[in-house]
């Protein structure tokens, strides 16, 4: 096999033949003998190649880069040869490795992180929009393209990462708060001491300067080396309790909305597989005209997802920006109240129409108008919340600037 060292050659399946079919025969007398030899050598070479390729495939994904076994030859083995001589089970393994390589080495493909799912997701957007972008797999699982966690828009990946890490080991976080941080005496935000000096300065916009040891203002500060029984342990316990209570407030609601969302997913599956058909038969109405019930459940599921991550966002809102916090809590409360009304209507009031009652169609028309209205209203509330979070709650800051200018 002649080729230059800089050239990649691929072994074609026809190179199994040691003797060319169009090779000139020396005589008619020895033709049959040569044919037998050629057939024997073909079988021997095929057996060798089958064993060689089988071994490489069994060794793992390195079979994608398998080369000619001849030490002096660097030609790569082509897929046509593998297709021709490998057994079915080994072909399947080879193409599984090939698919994985294609997905994992590409920038627009990722495996779905849902347990048990074997689908790969093709990202259809441009590379500039892949940050904090939620995608949906064919298995219905939604995840963030950037960090592969559950879909968490409009909350950014850094906040999600910090929140999940905190949830995994809250006891250690509480100890860290006690030993490594102290609250700013002015804005109460936890501050980490990262230098040796006890002169501390809170970050902007607070910028309050104080003593790390006694927490007194640095202006006019005097020596604080004299022991005073000021219940320091009691203060530490109070700080720890406040930190834990605050965390539990947000975690409990984060967990509730996660659990409620999963229940809603299950309820929707039951509704579509069982009750929707039964209601269609009772009312004598096509299922296509009852899709507003499915849309309501889909809205509930999406809103529970957003509300879940909104609580993680709220936990990291800094205390020295009360205007942003109040604006966020107002939008969150409005959205949550609307969602509770919609969820109750879909879960409790919808069930009554499965039982055959008098004037069913009349009552159902009123219910239909109510459910559609609640779905639209709730969607509007959550659009406001999502837009505010995506903009970093800048709307409230902008409004304050306008008010101060007018004043």
Which tens digits make up the pLDDT trace of 74-99?
Answer: 777 777 777 777 777 877 777 777 77
Q: Is the pLDDT confidence value at 6 over 50?
A: no
- Angle (nearest 5°) at CA 363 between 361 and 369: 100
In angstroms, rounded to a whole number, what is the distance separating the alpha carbons of residues 369 and 315?
37
Question: Which residues fall within 8 angstroms of residue 119, CB to CB, at 6 or more apart?
Answer: 111, 112, 137, 138, 139
Of 144, 148, 187, 197, the catalytic one is: 197
3-state secondary structure of 167: helix
pLDDT, tens only, 248-289: 889 889 999 999 999 999 999 999 998 899 889 888 889 999
Mean pLDDT of the region 316-333:
85
Overall average pLDDT of the 378-385 stretch? 96
The two three-digit tokens of residue 340, written as one number: 């509770």
Query: In a 10 Å sphere around its CB, with 0-12 CB exposed, 13-18 middle and 19+ buried, how is residue 401 labelled?
Result: exposed
Higher pLDDT, 301 or 54: 301
- Whole-number Å distance between alpha carbons of 303 and 377: 12
* 3-class DSSP state of 338: helix
User: Furthest-apart CA pair in the chain: how many Å?
Assistant: 118
Contact 77, 52 (CB under 8 A): no
**C-alpha 159: how far from its chain's center?**
13
Element (H, E) at 209: strand 209-211
Strands (E), 2-95: 10-11, 76-77
Provide mean pLDDT across the span 314-336. 87
Q: Pick the most confident of 4-13, 16-25, 225-234, 352-361.
A: 352-361
Average pLDDT over residues 58-77: 76
Helix (H), strand (E) at residue 165:
helix 157-168
In 118-172 the beta strands, taken as DSSP E runs, fall at 120-122, 134-136, 142-144
Residue 152: pLDDT over 60? yes
* Mean pLDDT calculated for residue range 355-379: 86
State how far the Cα of 55 lies from the Cα of 398, in Å rounded to an integer.
Answer: 67
CA 240/CA 183 separation, integer angstroms: 11
Name 400's Cβ contacts closer than 8 Å, sequence gap at least 6: 323
Is 197 a residue of the active site? yes
C-beta of residue 384 within 8 angstroms of C-beta of residue 330: no
Tell me what pLDDT residue 20 has: 41
Residue 139 confidence class, pLDDT cut points 50, 70, 90: confident
CB 131 within 8 Å of CB 154: no
Cross-strand partners of 136: 142
CATH topology for 237-406 is: 1.20.120
Domain ranges (residues) in the chain: 10-102, 106-144, 184-230, 237-406
Measured in degrees and rounded to the nearest 5, phi and psi for residue 162 equal -65, -40
Residue 131, helix vs strand vs coil: coil
Asked if residues 384 and 327 have their Cβ atoms less than 8 Å apart, the reply is no
Give the HSE-up count for residue 53: Cα atoms under 13 Å, Cβ half-sphere: 27
Q: Which of 7-11, 136-140, 161-165, 211-215 has the highest mean pLDDT?
A: 161-165
Which value, in Å, is the radius of gyration of the alpha carbons in the chain?
34
Q: For 41, left (φ over 0), alpha (ψ -120 to 50), or beta?
A: alpha
| pLDDT for the residue numbered 5 | 44
Q: Which residue is listed with tokens 């064919």?
A: 138
For the segment 93-113, the average pLDDT, to the nearest whole number, is: 73
Per DSSP, the residues of 290-315 read: GHHHHHHHHHHHHHHHHHHHHHHHHH
């Amino acid at each position: 096999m002649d080729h230059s060292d800089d050239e990649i050659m691929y072994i074609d399946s026809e190179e199994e033949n040691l003797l060319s079919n169009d090779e000139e025969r020396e005589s008619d007398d020895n033709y049959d003998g040569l044919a037998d030899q050629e057939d024997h050598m073909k079988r021997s070479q095929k057996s060798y190649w089958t064993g060689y390729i089988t071994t490489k495939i069994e060794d793992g994904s390195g079979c994608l880069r398998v080369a000619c076994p001849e030490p002096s030859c660097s030609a790569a083995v082509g897929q046509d040869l593998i297709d021709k001589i490998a057994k079915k089970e080994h072909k399947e393994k080879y193409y599984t490795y090939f698919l994985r390589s294609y997905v994992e080495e590409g920038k627009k493909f990722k495996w779905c992180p849902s347990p048990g799912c074997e689908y790969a997701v093709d990202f259809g957007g441009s590379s500039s929009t892949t940050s904090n972008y939620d995608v949906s797999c064919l298995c219905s699982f939604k995840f963030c393209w950037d960090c592969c966690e559950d879909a968490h828009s409009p909350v950014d990946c850094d906040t999600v990462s910090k929140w999940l890490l905190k949830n995994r080991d809250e006891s250690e976080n509480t100890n860290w708060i006690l030993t490594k941080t102290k609250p700013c005496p002015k804005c109460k935000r936890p501050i980490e001491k990262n230098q040796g000096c006890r002169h501390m300065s809170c970050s902007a916009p607070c910028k309050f300067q104080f003593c790390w040891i006694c927490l007194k203002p640095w202006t006019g500060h005097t020596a604080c080396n004299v022991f005073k029984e000021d219940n320091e342990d009691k203060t530490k316990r109070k700080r720890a309790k406040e930190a834990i209570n605050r965390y539990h407030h947000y975690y409990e609601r984060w967990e509730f909305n996660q659990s409620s969302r999963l229940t809603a997913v299950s309820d929707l599956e039951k509704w579509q597989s069982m009750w929707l058909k039964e209601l269609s038969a009772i009312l004598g109405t096509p299922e296509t005209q009852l899709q507003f019930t499915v849309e309501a459940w889909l809205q509930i599921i999406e809103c529970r997802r957003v509300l879940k991550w909104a609580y993680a966002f709220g936990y990291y809102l800094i205390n020295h920006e009360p205007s942003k916090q109040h604006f966020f809590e107002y939008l969150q409360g409005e959205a949550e109240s609307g969602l509770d009304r919609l969820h109750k209507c879909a879960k409790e009031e919808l069930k009554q129409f499965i039982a055959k009652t008098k004037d069913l169609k009349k009552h159902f028309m009123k219910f239909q108008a109510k459910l559609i209205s609640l779905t639209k209203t709730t969607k509007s509330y959550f659009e406001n919340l999502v837009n505010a979070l995506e903009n970093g709650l800048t709307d409230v800051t902008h409004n304050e600037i306008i008010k101060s200018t007018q004043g």
